[in-house]
Structure 1
Amino acid sequence: MKETMASETTTGSDESFKLAVAMALLRSKLNKTSDTHHPPSPTSNSQLLKWKNKAKERKQEIIRLKQDLIEVEGGMHHELLQGSASCRCYFFEDLGKLSPKRLSGEGFDDRFKDVLRRRFLRQVRLKERKRRRNEGSTQRLVLSDNKAVEETEQLRASVDFLVELCDAVRQDDANFASWSHQAVDFILDSINNTLSKGKNIESVEGIIGSLSLHLVRKMCTTLQGNEANHDAQFHVQHLLRKLGSESCIGQRVILAVSQRISLLAENLLFLDPFESTFPEMHSNLYILIQLIEYLVSDYLSSWLKTNGFAIELFEEWVTSILHARKGLQLLETRCGLYILYMDRVIGLIAKLVGQVESLQKLNPNILQRLFC
């Protein structure tokens, strides 16, 4: 009896299992048939393909923009615009040439000018932040909401950046060329903008005077017998020459240089020619006189045509040059070339002054000493 009931139970469960499998197979077949009779519409396929293509285009565009950003930020943009956005390509091209045709900023492409300006300011802020951190100061670079004060502070920090950069010219000439070009352009633009607005004039003039003195001192600081440092002299001289395109800077540079010549002439007068420092001072005299000649020949004519030309400052540095010549005259028995080079510079100044009618009203004593 029990065996009969067990066999009936097993038979019933097998039939239920078979029925469930049959229903599953039937449903699967029905689904396949439904898919066959109702394929995806062409409209849905085209929409899907359209959005896939758009996604690929956006992805490619993002990759392309990232590459452009890396090139611009990494200084590789000069490959796109040869000779325009790159700072190293022509800035020091006319090193040591008299009256070059190409001046600072010529041929510079405006498309990258704003990018380079922001990049330079970011570098200045990083340097300034590092310097303040070393000094234990927590003050930020700019604290004032006044735009004029902010521009003056940026100018001051940029000048400090350029002076500090001149210390590293011997370690990395390529880096020096790139950043010094941007520093010169930024300083010239900032000074022009500030002076045109007529605000913070005294602060800007103080910054310019400090810049002139520091760079002239850097130019005269070399190590005897070190060829690399003598090359650095000419690079700093070229920086001063580029900055001198602005009258207020160029005239102060000439004043600082002429005063330095007077000081060196006095020191050489009482110095033993066999002293170890004599060759360095001798070399400095030539590079200082040469810088005056560059500035006068390059820019004096254009300075005289500007409305903001400072006659008082002009009289001051002309007087200083005449005083320096008097000091060099005492060294004529040692080296007559000093006075010959200085006379050539003074003759060039006299020639240009004689061509400008407005300068005939200068101090008669200065004119008499200049033309005698």
Structure 2
Amino acid sequence: MLYLRDFIFQNLKQKRSRTIMCILGIILSTMTVMVISMTSERYQQTASGFFTPFNEYSQIIEKGANYFQFLPAGSFLEAEYQAEIEDFFQEETIPALIVSYDESVSSFEYNYILGTNLSDISTLWENTGLSVGKWPNSIHEVVVGSSVEFSDDVVYIQNKTFHVSGILSSSSSFMDGIIVCDLLTLQTSYNYTDRVSLFFISNQIQNGEKVQEFETQFPQLNFLTTEEQDEIKGSMGNFYTDIIELFTFFAIITALVFVFAIETMNVLSRKKDIAVLLLMGTPKMMLMKLLWIEIALITIIGLVIGVPLSLIAYISIFAFIQVQIGSRDNFTTAFKIFGSNTLKVAPFKLMFQSIGLIFFGGILIAIIPALIVFRVNILSEIKKRN
């Protein structure tokens, strides 16, 4: 056993080029599966958060408003509508004001503030929850998305200082880049007194006749039901699901073919050595174990290097995209912020699935070239060796 173990390490050391090529193949296979899987999952999460940020609520908005992820960021309604709407539906509503945090930023990420009454913040964001901290209980406190930049637990809105009491746990683009604060404070800060962008209302208030009656009585308003949101979300969701399945399928096939090719190359290059060991009376099961240990070592080394490189590649891709669309001024800042956010909500399930696929898939498909090699003509191979 000691001899065989020494034989493995000696072989890996002597045939450096082949060993390096095999490790590089494992690294590239790992990166292919992980980067495509993580990118697909992020876009699916973004699509879901983009269309229905608050699943339990319908929205009453101004007709013809400009939307920011189904929220009318460019819309301003009279706050006095709230009493009329609640009287009509006999249901409480949650008013909200959405404004741009930095008008110089053109992207929809990282630059919006949502003002809601302090008492309503935790109710509206209940399904999202907090990763750390607590909900605001003071007009000087805010909660932020995980990508919002701040230092010393402080953010500045219109040159006013606000303490960050908590960080939202969601990983969608909408939740990542938003600041949530007290409605009246936001109205005062931006001089939007008695103005809101929309009213959230329980999705139970969706009787078709009642909605039509409401829109007739309030022709300037639109009742956007969760069914209408889900219809659009559904079509987009199906599209994303199809794309994700397609890319993941090709990623898996590419990875397994790549691993099979390099492991076939590895095993076939050992024909002469295997022939000598067979001639010396080494059992085939022992040789199979030897090959599996060697392949496992190469695969583990490739995974140890490939997993962090996959994360770096994934973060780099999105950092580059953010710079190109104007979300960030430079690549270094984008890489640091998106990287920090990625590590906070790292897709461990996907990572383990990718690692398991490469490791166990590689071990299993290594059986094929190994079985081929065990059928070699021992004398013929030894003659070639000499």
Which structure is richer in relative contact order (CA contacts within 8 A, separation 6 or more)? Answer: 2
Larger of the two Rg values belongs to structure: 1
Indicate the structure with greater helix content. Answer: 1
